[in-house]
Structure formats: C-alpha cells, structure tokens
Structure 1
Amino acid sequence: MSILLFQFQNLNAHNNLEPCKNHNNHQFFCDLCGCATSSGSFGYGTLSNANFIGIRYIYQNFESKNGIFENSPKSKETFNTYQLWAQIPITKTIYISANLPYQDLNRTFNGATENISGLGDSSLIGWYKLNFYKKQDENVVNFNGEKEASGHSLQFGLGVKLPTGEFEERLADNVNPGFQVGTGSFDGILSVGYNYGGNKIGVNTLLSYYLKGENKNKYQFGNQFSYALNAYTAFSTEKVNIMPFVGVSGDVYNAIEQYGETLNGTDGNILNGSLGSEVAIKNFIFGASYTLPISQKLFGGNVESKQRFSVYVNFAL
C-alpha cells in the first residue's frame, strides 16, 4: 500500500534566495502493501514547495528466517515499487494527495525463486493546513493588510487506502506475510503534522495512524502507528535549489488477525535513520534517499529489514 499529500505553492519558491521560508510540506508515510514489514516511512510529498505530478521508485529488501533456530533456512525478499503520484491544491488551505503503485516482488528460498507483480493498493488523502503568523506591531501601520508568515504550520490529514491490489491468501503463510502486492482491504488513514521553515533550515514531523480493514479472506493486517522527523537545509542559486536532509522514522504494528483470532508473533516495531537530498531545476524536482534500520523486532525477530532507497522525478505544476 502506498500513498501521498499536501498543499504547495508556486514554483517560484524554488528560485527564492531564502527557499526555506516557504517550505510547508513534510514527508508523509504509509506502508507499501499494508503489511507489517513494509515500513510506513515513505514520503507522500517532497521537500520542495510545489504542486506536482511525478514518478517514484522504491527498493526494499528483507531476510526472513523460516524456523526457530539460528541455522534455520532463510528466504530473501526484494520489493520493487513504481509509483505515479501527485499533489493537487483545492484551496489555499485544503489539498489532496494521490498515489497509484505497481509492485514487483521477488522471493528466493532453498534455491527456488518466486515472483509476483501487479497493481498495488492506491490511496487518496485530503489535507487541511493551519498556518501561524507573526504578531503584528501595533505601532506599525500595515498598508497591504497581509499577515507575515511565522514559518510554523500544522497539517491534518484524513484518507483512505483502496484495495486495488490483489491479496493472495496462500502467500499469507510465509514468514513475511508482507510479500503481497495488495491487502484486499479498505484502510483508513489519520495524520497530523508540524512544520517549521526558516531562512535556511527547516524541520517537519508527522504522526499517522492506519486503521486496517478486514478483506474478503477474513484476513486483517494489524493497525499501524507511524512517526517521522526530518531536518533539512537549503543551498540556492538563481537556477538551482539543493536541499539535503537527515531524519528518523519508525513504525509500530499491531498483530494480524484472521477469522477474528490474533496470530501470535505478528506484531512488531522498527526505527529507521535516513539521509538524502532534493534538487529543483526549473520545473523539475529530483530526489533520492537512503534508509537503514537502527533497531527492529518484526514477527518475533524472524523478519529483518535490511535497507531501502528511493528516487523520484516530479514535474511542478
């Protein structure tokens, strides 16, 4: 399962000599396929302050131990996700994000390779943005009537993940049941975020809760709480804006349920560290990030997330 977001402003913000003053978006998150091992820490939006339509590639790999012993056989899973994503404003304070993923997943176990691919779960989120403004000096007359932005803002999101990807019950018996192109369920998404953008630095945070629904196979992935914090800076010229960032993110997963019964050992948590950068050149926005786990315990320690990276290119509208 995958997703997106936010309100964005005019492309001229890319060429502003103080680009961070106008940065209002943050990186938002949901797991790729609705499964407990697919971390929620993937951005819905970018650091750049623009409406866009674009494409993004995300790579993940996992190692799953099929047994309780140290020498138990292990399977290796590789997740490749190709997304069409967009960020579209409705009003000055309301905006939507949309995402349509294609999944290409590979699994190697005991010398045999399995591949599944297809359309993943699409998502749609509506956002409301609350800006904060500087207190006006009562001794200064404001002739234009415009308030001066403080750089601080809050965002509130409400959305849904749609079951456009296929769920295969036979794959749920794997040690890593996240090896699916879709969940087969409708899921709700609740998010709140805080952003600060100064002259040269910025911070954005996000807290999200995912209410997982039950699919037609009576299978229900556990509800998920995700959190993220990114700090970035900016280096600008008349034509190019470069924004490196570092961040931490994590997910806490409830246990999976099937036929109303909780499946033991299917909950977990993970904490990640990441770094990356974004480059805006005219109407094009290029970005890349690399993520490694700091600590994790997934499926009783039987599933290990190794690394992930993503790259994207967007066209600012």
Structure 2
Amino acid sequence: MNVLQNIKTGIILLALVLLHTNLVQAHTIKKVCTHDEPFKVYCDLCGCATSSGSFGFGTLSNANFVGVRYIYQNFESRNGIFENSPTSKESFNTYQLWAQIPINKSFYVSANLPYQDLTRNFNNVKENINGLGDASVIGWFKLPFYKKQNTDKVDFNIEREASGHSLQFGLGIKLPTGKFEESLADNINPGFQVGTGSVDGIFSLGYNYGGDKYGVNTLFSYYLKGENKNDYQFGNQFSYATNLYRAFATEKMNIMPFVGVSGDVYKKITQYGETLEDTDGNILNASIGSELAIDKFIFGASYTLPISQSLFGDNVESKQRLSVYVNFAL
C-alpha cells in the first residue's frame, strides 16, 4: 500500500511540474540528444547484495544533471529446500539524490546518495528497516571519436566533427554511510540491509553511440567489495547493461522510448575469513521505459523483469523493478 501511495504521489508531482513547465515555457526547446551528448548509463550501488548494480545512473536526454529518483524492487526468499518451505516477501524502496557534474570537456563526476526503506513479511510477521544508504562517487573520463577528415583538401576549420561514438572510463568509491546490522546477516536474502558497512571500489568501462534518432549504450562495471568491521564481506560484483533508444522530437519536447538488457554476477560472501555457501548468483533482466524532456526538465520511468536468474542457491527470486525520476539538466 505504501508503494502505491509513493507511486501515486510521484505521478501527481510529475503532472504538476509538467503543467507548470508548459505554462511558463513557450519558446522552442533545444535539441537535447546530440552526437556530443549520447545516452550515458552509470552503475548505481545502493549497498545491498541483491540490489542490482545495473539499473543505471544517467539519463537519455542530457549528460549533466541534478535530480531525484525512486526505485522499487521486490523479492521472494524461500527458507528451506522444499517447494512448500515458508517464504519471505521483501520490498525495497530506494529514494535517491543523484547528480552528474562536469569538471571540463573530458572529465565529470557522478554522485548518488540513497535513502533505504526495506520491508519484509515472514510468517505473518512484518519487519521494517530504514535509513541512509551507501553513498557513491565516480570520476569519469570521456574519450570521443571523430569523423575521418578528408586529406585531399585543406580545411582551415579546426573544429573536428564528432562521430557520435565515445568511450567512458570510470573509477569510483562507495562509502559506508549506510548502517550494517550483523543480526540481519543470517537472513536468506543478505541484501536486506540499508548498507554494507564497507568501502568498495568501482571500475567501469562504457561505450556510447548517439545519433540524431537512434542511440545505443553499453556499460561494464566491476565492484571490488571491502570487509566491514564485523568481518563480513559481500562478494565482488560484475554488472553490465545495454540499451537501445529512439528519439522523437517535437517543437516543445523530446520523447525517447527505450529497451534494454542488464545483469549482475555476484561472488560468494565471506565472514571471518570463511566462504559462505549459496551466497553467489547471477541474474539477467529485460527493461522497457521512456523519457520525456521539456526544456531543462527530464522525466523518466522504466520497468524491469528478470529473464533468468539463480540467486543464492535459488533461494532468492527477484520479481520486478520500477524506477521513476525527475532531473534538472545543467
């Protein structure tokens, strides 16, 4: 019920902002999807083992922004090896402040500060934990590619024409700003935590192509997990994501529907130097969504369902994921 109320509130706020924007913006909107600003996706890590690192950190419309995002995920965990074993139903609500800030033409920084609200229902007993999650900061270097110049004639125009292709290299850190509760470590779903309590490294490599109408992006990220003060260490994580979008531009707005696939591979958790069995896994997802850009406001939503998964000895099942956001382009 709280999830539905949160979604309804978000829809109302989006509608109010859209109405206000249409009333005060009467001029033609600049084209927001260009060869120089293709769709960028960045990994976001909320600090939970089963929370995907592949659900994106960026927008289709503009490379630089500040904004808020809401993510809903739900899981079902089976406490036992039999089909009729008792199950735990878990809902993860994440509220994020996120941004991408330019340093210069080649360097930029992305940052994310989440608030977690997690609920679990097991044997008709409801449990809730909430609080600040793990913040992350990533520094990025962009390497654009340019069209080949014609060597048969002299061109005094020193401005090279972008091809639309580019590579991104990211190096970042996740901070232990979220609380890790050791009493929850024995849960079937170890992701039921607001934070990991550890300092983690983030290494990313991305490829983007942005054309006038179509664009594609691919991102690979590796999370090197650290050990927290409780001698508990989440397994290292590899995440990947690919998205294809189509831009429809009008005089006052850009609409960009997209489809994509993403996934995560989790290594086993260790505690007190020993590897814990059935704590690794993998998941492959399919996503569909759209984005609406009106002047400097960017509104987006996506819906994700698993294609295949094997999480924590097949005892944890991811059901679905919903994400909505509102950004202001810089």
Alpha-carbon offset, residue 144 of structure 1: 2.8
Aligned to 2:297: 284
Whether the 8 Å CA contact 1:255–1:263 is kept in 2: the answer is yes
> How far apart in 2 are the matches of 1:24 and 1:89?
15
**Of residues 34, 40, 51 in structure 1, which corresponds to 2:48?**
34
2:172 paired with 1:159 = yes
Aligned to 1:227: 240
**Of residues 122, 125, 130 in structure 1, which corresponds to 2:135?**
122
2:187 paired with 1:203 = no
1:251-290 equivalence runs, <5 A: 251-290=264-303
Task: Output one character per residue of 1:158-182: Cα deviation in whole Å (capped at 9) or x when no partner.
Answer: 0000000000001111100100000
- The structure-2 alpha-carbon separation of the partners of 1:13 and 1:76, relative to structure 1 and needing over 3 Å to count, comes to farther
2:118 paired with 1:105 = yes
**Of residues 19, 24, 30 in structure 1, which corresponds to 2:33?**
19
**Of residues 151, 156, 162 in structure 2, which corresponds to 1:138?**
151
Give TM-score, length-normalised by structure 1: 0.93
Task: Output one character per residue of 1:237-259: Cα deviation in whole Å (capped at 9) or x when no partner.
Answer: 12201111000000000000000
Q: Which runs of 5+ in 2 are unaligned?
A: 1-26
Whether the 8 Å CA contact 2:109–2:140 is kept in 1: the answer is yes
Alpha-carbon offset, residue 14 of structure 1: 6.5
> How far apart in 2 are the matches of 1:252 and 1:224?
6
Whether the 8 Å CA contact 1:15–1:236 is kept in 2: the answer is no
Q: Which runs of 5+ in 1 are unaligned?
A: 1-11
State the AA in 2 paired with 1:299: F
> How far apart in 2 are the matches of 1:247 and 1:315?
24
1:300-311 equivalence runs, <5 A: 300-311=313-324
Whether the 8 Å CA contact 1:205–1:230 is kept in 2: the answer is yes
Identity %: 74
Aligned to 1:240: 253
Aligned to 2:189: 176
Task: Output one character per residue of 1:92-131: Cα deviation in whole Å (capped at 9) or x when no partner.
Answer: 0000000100000000000010000000000000000000
Alpha-carbon offset, residue 39 of structure 1: 1.3
Secondary structure of the residue aligned to 1:170 is helix
Whether the 8 Å CA contact 2:298–2:326 is kept in 1: the answer is yes
> How far apart in 2 are the matches of 1:314 and 1:159?
22
State the AA in 1 paired with 2:305: L
- The alignment of Structure 1 onto Structure 2 pairs a total of residues equal to 304
> How far apart in 1 are the matches of 2:138 and 2:29?
25
Secondary structure of the residue aligned to 1:83 is strand
Whether the 8 Å CA contact 1:15–1:237 is kept in 2: the answer is no
- The structure-2 alpha-carbon separation of the partners of 1:13 and 1:168, relative to structure 1 and needing over 3 Å to count, comes to farther
State the AA in 2 paired with 1:194: Y
> How far apart in 2 are the matches of 1:23 and 1:316?
12
State the AA in 2 paired with 1:21: H
Whether the 8 Å CA contact 2:97–2:112 is kept in 1: the answer is yes
**Of residues 202, 206, 212 in structure 2, which corresponds to 1:189?**
202
State the AA in 1 paired with 2:79: N
> How far apart in 2 are the matches of 1:14 and 1:110?
54
Task: Output one character per residue of 1:259-289: Cα deviation in whole Å (capped at 9) or x when no partner.
Answer: 0100001000000000101110011000000
**Of residues 44, 62, 68 in structure 1, which corresponds to 2:57?**
44
State the AA in 2 paired with 1:233: R
Aligned to 2:20: none
Whether the 8 Å CA contact 1:23–1:202 is kept in 2: the answer is no
Task: Output one character per residue of 1:20-42: Cα deviation in whole Å (capped at 9) or x when no partner.
Answer: 4333342122442231x111122
- The structure-2 alpha-carbon separation of the partners of 1:228 and 1:14, relative to structure 1 and needing over 3 Å to count, comes to farther
> How far apart in 2 are the matches of 1:236 and 1:133?
25
Alpha-carbon offset, residue 13 of structure 1: 12
> How far apart in 2 are the matches of 1:261 and 1:47?
43
- The structure-2 alpha-carbon separation of the partners of 1:206 and 1:176, relative to structure 1 and needing over 3 Å to count, comes to same
Aligned to 1:5: none
In angstroms, what is the RMSD of aligned CA positions? 1.5
Aligned to 1:6: none
